[in-house]
Structure 1
Amino acid sequence: MLGFLQKIGKSLMLPVASLPAAAILLRFGNIDYVKDFHFGAAGEFINHYIAPFLAAGGSAIFDNLPLLFAIGLAIGLAGDAVATLAAVIAHLVLVNVLAKVPLAFDYIGADVKLDMGVLGGILAGGIAAFFYNKYHDIKLPEWLGFFGGKRFVPIITSVTMVVVALLFGLIWGPVQNAMDAFGTWVVALGAWGSGIFTVANRMLIPFGLHHVINAIAWFQIGDFTNAVGDIIHGDLHRFFAGDKTAGLFMTGFFPIMMFALPGAALAFIHTARPERRKDIASAFIGLAIASFLTGITEPIEFSFMFAAPVLYVIHAILSGVSAFIMVTLGVKLGFGFSAGLIDYGINFPLSTKPLLLIPVGLAFFVVYYLLFRFLIVKFNLKTPGREVETEDTGASGAAATSAASGKPSSLHDKAVMITEMLGGKENIKSLDACITRLRLTLHDDKIIDEAGLKRIGAAGIMKLGSGAVQVIFGTQSELIKGEMLKL
């Protein structure tokens, strides 16, 4: 079950990856270049001939997020173009059938609009992937042979989806009302709701399940009606639509990603053993800059998540405290990618009290630095640069003969070394990647060279059972995957 949920979380990252482009287009498309920037005649030209098209492009992505989620899930769970086509068909059937259900059943109410949002997209993509995996090689009688194999998948998906959509249409009214009430309750919790979500988000990162709750909070919870009467769902979408109450599930990440984790990185540098300090500094200064600018934090978090789990639990709790404080102060910030300086600057005009981030962030920088440094020294925690080095790498079998002692001189060499350290190509059943980690299924996860992987840059290795393994290489993960697939 855990492995399946991780596959869903990984699959959701594909449509989520399109959001930075959507956010930038929507942001620059909704600026009044005459009133806001005082560009005069040039501003009038931009307002009339450029900005509306930028906004339209961004809105197209946000308005079709359920369809994009369906496509992303089908690709992630099935990995074939036919499954993607089936997912599109499934989503279109779902939307159309749901629209007809209130007209046919009086108890629902003809004026009720059933909208499953991104959950509908996940349902459509999941059903399409299920039928692809089950029937893509089906053999039909010779007179129906044309419709056999992969061609059968869109057919069975569309027919089944009519029934599924009808069933969901009959029950979705109360479910939709309950979800709206839950969303209202969570939003009404204010700072507490934001803090609880943020703690849960950080605690689910080790399992790769944070994407699942992110999808609900950022794309489903909360409603906002824009100027033309469209109903916008989800904290992230509402923020970019101009809802000043949005940002509840995003704001608290900014002090942590821009300030707190760089403070932790500095603590790791200063507590490293003297002979390791230069190497640790060269690695963590880059990671701290990446966290500050882009909000990519997993390489830092995985560096101490397993080496010093008590620090990670404290980090998760303090992340919730950050969210609580920011929301209590009335700060509302949002992002299209993550809570880094780039998103902060781009979305500054849409934010509420954005300058309060600076003092709060600086305070968290100091707290993380002092608290992490104290705990590391007091309890002799084996954070980066303080590990006890051993000659035995813990590898066996094919991986034991890998070229673990050297540093890769190119991405290709790195991919070769990683493959060897994972037990060779024959040990890899499946390979994928998200933003910061390789996701693999291995025939035997006991023979991997964990020490060697860490030596060439892995921030962490997670064994999830049944051969499922994740190796965290940061933003290089997708490039490494590409090179590994060429081998």
Structure 2
Amino acid sequence: MSKKNKIMDFFSALGRSLMLPIATLAAAGLILGLSSALLKPQIQAALPFLQNSVVVYVLTLIKTITATVFGMIPVLFAICIAFGLAKEEKEIAAFAGFIGYYTFLLSASIIINSGAFNFASLKMSNILGIEKTIEMGAFAGILTGILTSMLHNKFYKIDFPIAIAFYGGKRFVAIVVIGAMTLLGQVMPFVWVPISSGINSLGSLIASSGHTGVFLFGFLERILIPTGLHHVLNGVFRTTSVGGVYQGVEGCLNIFLQFFDKVDISQLKQFTAFLGQGKMPFMMFGLPAAAYAIYKTSPDNKKPKVKALMVAGVAASIVSGITEPLEFSFMFIAPQLFLFHAIMGGISFGILSLLGVAIGNTGGGIIDFLIYGVLVPGSRWYIVILVGIVFAVIYYMVFKWYFTNKNISIDVNEDVEEEDFSKDSSGKTNLAVKIINGLGGIDNIVAVNNCISRLRVDIKDMSLVNEDLLKKTGSMGIVKPSLTHIHVIYGPKVEKVAKQVKEAMKY
């Protein structure tokens, strides 16, 4: 495998690994936002029953518990990245990820508190009960997860002589991780000061770029969609100092959720600029208008199937902020339109930042819009609607002109077969069997995973993949980030599809 393919596979796997904690944070964020909004005096004045002591207690309980989740981001990253990057025995890697993270913090604390060296310029905190240890934020979790997975993949099958055979294999993983993270904890306090200084400088550069920096972020966030690397970009901005620092808290998402109910929302708009608000004009207005244009320009014999595809895609985009079903419907037949869409994404982020909108969380769909926009005084949520209407007109006109001028229509796979989750005599679902065959057969598949909308598969030989067969299974698009990794887009139903494929591969 070439070096380029290895790098692409690694970052693709890293992005996939970040999806579980990020999805957890998004769900917790919705609950936190709703409970915090209902505790605001303005909302309670409008809805007097919210002032009842029992209601206040329950809402405060929910808010406090969900807010705690965001202080656990580094350890969640350590566990989930170790789990996601492990080839086999993933649960062992996840366990070692937690052990490694705790060991790293404890080791760093020991040398910091030894008094032998001066670490006055180092940022320190109390984490997981460990007093005065190095504060690296999400980077500590990411670094621990990556190193743990590397050690796990190298040693989980190791054999020892009979006398100490008990400590071989998967039992050795935690042992070697403890040793490695102890050493890393001794070294990192010396090297983190210049590294953190560089990261903070990058964050300051982006912040000083103002609305231009926000535009570039929005453009990159969309243009990276085909590779799946937008998860990495978002993760860095949301959880590290690249996304900003406010009263000692790093990352735009962390800052927003920790101070959402403590300061006026206007003080957080420089951080919400990198969150879900920038997606709302094109998720709730632009892409639905594009979908309507695609439907209107389709040949009459294709319209029923195009309509079904577009309606499902629009629903996913507006409600849950999942845009891939729509984006992949035109990405390959009209790449110029996807470039246009990415530029509009950047404009969307930039213009909402320019107009002082302050709507947080990550989704970008109507749920976030209502909870963090409409229910929050001073969020300027109405600007999203005004900008969205303009976006809808532009998207519709551009897409209609392009499809009409080029005389093209999207591929709806008129021979696509109905989803069939019934099982054959061996216990495999018929759909899973077709997907496995489309991927070149079970012997060609190395690993199967999924994110929020894609089946992510590591394979041995890309030439054995049958794209036509995969499209007949209901796939909305196919992406090949490298020669050994393929993404098959199924939209929100991908969780069920992935489960069926994994079960079929066990037989």
Normalised TM-score (structure 2):
0.86
CA distance in 1, matches of 2:117, 2:123: 10
Alignment-mate amino acid for residue 58 of structure 1: T
- Residues 1:147 and 2:174 are matched in the alignment: no
Q: Which residue of 2 aligns with 1:454?
A: 471
Matches within 5 A, 1:87-106: 87-103=97-113, 104=115, 106=117
Check conservation: 1:21, 1:58, Cα contact below 8 A: no
> Contact 1:101–1:170 (CA<8 Å) still a contact in 2?
no
Q: Select which of 200, 206, 218 maps to 1:198.
A: 218
Change (3 A) 1:415 1:195: same
Alignment of 1:63-462 (within 5 A): 63-78=71-86, 79=88, 80-103=90-113, 104=115, 106-109=117-120, 112-113=123-124, 114-220=134-240, 221-225=243-247, 231-241=248-258, 242=260, 244-245=268-269, 246-250=271-275, 251-336=277-362, 338-348=363-373, 349-350=375-376, 352-384=379-411, 406-410=417-421, 412-462=429-479
**Which of the numbers 25, 41, 57 marks the counterpart of 2:65?**
57
Q: 1:368-404: CA deviations, max 9, x gaps? A: 010111122223345346x9x9xxxxxxxxxxxxxx7
1:75 and 1:373 map into 2 onto residues whose CA distance is 45
SS of the residue 2:478 aligns to: strand
Query: How far 1:117 moved relative to its partner?
Result: 1.2
Distance 2:417 2:216 in 1: 44
Please give the alpha-carbon distance, in whole angstroms, between the structure 2 residues aligned to 1:275 and 1:42.
54
Deviation at 1:405, TM superposition (A): 6.5
Give the Cα–Cα distance (whole angstroms) in 2 for the partners of residues 436 and 255 of structure 1. 21
Do the aligned partners of 2:9 and 2:484 also contact (CA within 8 Å) in 1? no
Residues 1:94 and 1:369: Cα distance change in structure 2 (over 3 Å): same
Q: 1:357 is matched by which residue type in structure 2?
A: V
Q: What's the % identity of the aligned pairs?
A: 31
Match of 1:399 in 2: none
Q: What are structure 2's unaligned runs of at least 5 residues? A: 1-6, 125-133, 261-266, 423-428
| C-alpha contact 2:419 2:431 (8 A) present in aligned 1 | yes
Residues 384/332 of structure 1: CA separation in 2 closer, same or farther (3 Å cut):
farther
Q: Paired residue for 2:31, among 4, 8, 25? A: 25
Secondary structure of 1:109's partner? coil
Q: How many residues align?
A: 465
AA in 2 matched with 1:93: T
Say which SS state the counterpart of residue 333 (structure 1) adopts: coil
Deviations 1:197-249 (A, max 9, x none): 11111111111111111111111121222xxxxx3221112122225232111
Q: What is the alpha-carbon distance in structure 1 between the residues aligned to residue 122 and residue 81 of structure 2?
A: 31
**Deviation at residue 287 of structure 1 after TM alignment:** 0.9
Give the match for residue 496 of structure 2: 479
The counterpart of 2:17, out of the listed 8, 11, 21, is 11
2-structure distance, mates of 1:473, 1:108: 50
Q: Per the alignment, do residues 60 and 425 of structure 1 end up closer, same or farther by CA in structure 2, a change over 3 Å counting? A: same
| CA contact 2:419–2:474 (8 Å) conserved in 1 | no
Mapped partners of 2:468, 2:250: distance in 1? 45
Alignment CA distance shift 1:409-1:81 (3 Å):
closer
Partner amino acid for 2:325? P
Indicate yes or no: 2:44 matched with 1:37: yes
Q: In 1, Cα distance between the equivalents of 2:28 and 2:119?
A: 35
Name which of structure 1's ranges 8-17 and 139-148 shifts more when overlaid on structure 2: 139-148
In structure 2, distance between residues paired with 1:139 and 1:117: 36
* CA contact 2:458–2:484 (8 Å) conserved in 1: yes
The answer on 1:464 being equivalent to 2:481 is yes
Q: Which amino acid aligns with 2:475?
A: A
Q: Deviations over 1:172-218 (max 9, x none)?
A: 11221222232122123221111101111111111111111111111
Can you list the C-alpha shifts for 1:433-461, whole angstroms capped at 9, x where unaligned? 11111111223322322123223321111
Q: CA 1:118–1:372 in 2, change beyond 3 Å: closer, same or farther?
A: same
1:24 and 1:289 map into 2 onto residues whose CA distance is 19
3-state DSSP of counterpart to 1:18: helix
Moved more, 181-190 or 122-131: 181-190
Residue 292 of structure 2 aligns to which amino acid in structure 1?
L
Amino acid at match of 1:420: N
Kindly provide the amino acid, as one letter, of the partner of residue 171 in structure 1: V
Matched AA of 1:429: V
In the alignment, the residues of structure 2 paired with residue 239 and residue 115 of structure 1 have an alpha-carbon distance, to the nearest angstrom, of 19
Distance 2:298 2:160 in 1: 65
**Aligned residues of 2:28 and 2:66 also touching (Cα < 8 A):** yes
SS in 2 for 1:127: helix
Measure how far apart 1:18 and its partner are: 0.4
The answer (yes or no) to whether the contact 2:119–2:189 under 8 Å persists in 1 is: no
Contact 2:417–2:474 (8 Å) recurs in 1? no
Cα offsets for 1:457-476 (capped at 9, x unmatched): 21111223333111001111
Mapped partners of 1:50, 1:43: distance in 2: 11
Q: Which amino acid aligns with 2:200?
A: D
> What is the CA distance between 1:17 and its match in structure 2?
1.4
* In structure 2, distance between residues paired with 1:193 and 1:42: 40
Change (3 A) 1:274 1:127: same
Contact 2:455 2:488 (8 Å CA) reproduced: yes
Cα gap change, 1:159 to 1:466, in 2 (>3 Å): same
Do the aligned partners of 1:10 and 1:434 also contact (CA within 8 Å) in 2? yes
Tell me: higher relative CO, structure 1 or 2? Use CA pairs within 8 A at least 6 residues apart.
2
